[in-house]
Chain A
Amino acid sequence: MTGETVIIDTAARASLWLQPHRIVLILIAVGLVASAAFFMRWDWLPQYWEMGLMGIWRALWILAVTCALGFMIAVPVGLAQAAGSIWVAAPAKVFCTIIRGTPLLLQLWLLYYGLGSLFPQYPWIRESWMWPYLRQAWPYGVLALTLSFAGYEGEVMRGAFAGVPKGQLEAARAFGMSRWKIFRRIWLPQAFYRALPTLTGETVLQLKSTPLVATISVIDIFAVSSKVRQDTYLTYEPLLLLALIYMAITGILVFAFSRIEARIPVKIG
């Protein structure tokens, strides 16, 4: 527990962790969960669990798509701020400031209600192939969450790109690598390793932002729990289960990222 560096095998670590007071606390927690399962009403579960799984799937899908797209936007945004001329750095900076300076809920509603009320006025949009998508809610949710992730992660990537030692890039140039190859082989991987610990946090934050899409009528797991609450007039049960589901997803995410982090070379720069 203190600063001594002692090699502890797994069994000893488990016994260190499982101190007597922890056993009592765990028993209390188990008792609380058991009494919640016993005394609260869960008879609505069989009716809604299929819908709930659909909702979880949709939330995870939104999370994956918006993080992937957002990261793709974040790389040029970060690079523009770290190395670009003022003509690309300034717009990127403004983009990050605006995204980070306003609430996501407002951005979401601006896109959904604002743009959504704007598009139908143009006949060419209504006649185009995009219209069936633009009439639905989820593209606006995906767009808002993507831009939000890009804004926050762009700022992280700016620091990560700037943090790669100059000597690495100079060495690559001395080897005669083209600019694109330097970026692909040296700059981006090292910046990505640097950004990875914060990427975990950003992804968890993004997961916690996904329930906002329920406010524009996308049926994710949060919306399913709201529907259960309206149908059954129960307040706590659906919300508690919802909190548990989000905690489980967060735990899985953090674990997965720690496995990825363990794989990257430790000594960088």
Chain B
Amino acid sequence: MTPHPPAGLSTHACRRPQVPADRASNPGATLIESFLPASAAGIVELLSPAPVGWGGTLLVGLLHSLEIAVGATIVGLLIGTWGAYGKLYGGPVVRDLFAVYTTVVRAVPELVLILLLYYAGTDLINQVLAAMGYQRVDISGLVAGIAVLGFVQGAYSTEVIRGAILAIPQGQIEAARAFGMSPGLLLRRITLPAMLPFAIPGLANLWLIATKDTALLAVVGFFELTLATRQAAGVTKAYLIFFLAAGVLYLCVTLVSNFLLGRAEKWARRGMPSIKDAR
């Protein structure tokens, strides 16, 4: 992939459209009519999933957003577990390197990181491939998006998981070691399950951040919900309807996630005293 300026910034296709003269010069338009360029039936038509409407486009965008968010969260969790282990049990060099990673990623805006990693990552892979004598590959936006957001998420989950591992009563880990468990078994049987109740609130927050950070990929031209919305709005000129509809979709994702994650936290904390009693 050759470096090119991001779609959203370079082409000033995003310039706000001029209002058609006929409507601008019509002071008699009622509030609702001017608020929404179409009538109530028109809104249903605009948002319907059938080809006339753009609802299907939005739903495909939502699906892409969710795919990226799920993938990035999984990648982030893997990096986070690894990073937390490195920060806690690694040697001095490993510990410092992870400290640099988490500090830098958390200090630089996600938008800048996404641009930097998106171009640098695809460029690097292609150069390595070229050096090994293979053809250049076009890395799909999905994979690049997951990798980039996962890298960003990893820095945050490193801190969350590190804190959660520190919250485990040390006796449990020492007991497991005394029984002669190997590090892998210890991680699988003791550390991960025991840290889960402490980590879930922070990780839940990270999942919500991931769903919202997918919107930033619109700036590098990846077709997710926000970009789909802007395309639909740009074609139909019904900006308010589509942006409000996308907002509702994002909000639904957040609310459903909140409900499910609350259940998950309850499940992970089963058998433990409630937070109120523990105080």
Contact = CB atoms under 8 A, between A and B. Distances in A.
Given A105-B215, A117-B239, A226 B9 contact: yes
A113 interface: yes
Contacts of A102: 212, 247, 250-251, 254
B11 to A, nearest CB: 10
Interface stretch (B47-55, B78-86, B113-121, B265-273): B113-121
B15 interface: yes
Nearest to B9: A226
B27 A123 contact: yes
Interface string B246-279: 1100110011000000000000000000000000
B184 interface: no
B175 interface: no
Contact of B96 (A21, A105, A230, A246): A21
Interface residues of B, number: 61
A223 B9 contact: yes
A101 B109 contact: no
Contacts of A250: 107-108
Given A118-B240, A122-B34, 19 more contacts: A97-B251, A98-B247, A100-B254, A101-B251, A102-B254, A103-B250, A106-B226, A109-B229, A110-B244, A110-B247, A113-B14, A207-B109, A214-B9, A223-B9, A235-B3, A235-B119, A239-B115, A243-B108, A247-B107
Interface size class of chain A, counting residues whose CB lies under 8 Å from the partner chain = 35 or more
B116 A243 contact: yes
Q: Which of A21, A105, A107, A210 is packed against the most chain B CB atoms within 10 Å?
A: A105
B19 interface: yes
Interface of B: 3, 5-6, 8-10, 12, 14-19, 23-24, 26-27, 29, 34-35, 92-93, 96-97, 104, 106-113, 115-116, 119-120, 123, 208, 212-216, 218-219, 226, 229-230, 233, 237, 239-240, 243-244, 246-247, 250-251, 254-255
A58 interface: no
24 contacts: A19-B92, A21-B93, A21-B96, A22-B96, A103-B212, A103-B213, A103-B250, A104-B215, A106-B250, A109-B229, A115-B240, A116-B16, A117-B19, A117-B239, A207-B109, A217-B14, A230-B5, A236-B116, A239-B112, A243-B108, A246-B107, A246-B109, A246-B112, A247-B108
Contact of B254 (A101, A106, A226): A101
A209 interface: yes
A58 B34 CA distance: 34
Nearest to A25: B96
B112 to A, nearest CB: 5
Nearest to B109: A208
A210 B139 CA distance: 29
A239 B119 CA distance: 10
Which among A25, A216, A243 has the greatest number of chain B C-beta atoms within 10 A? A243
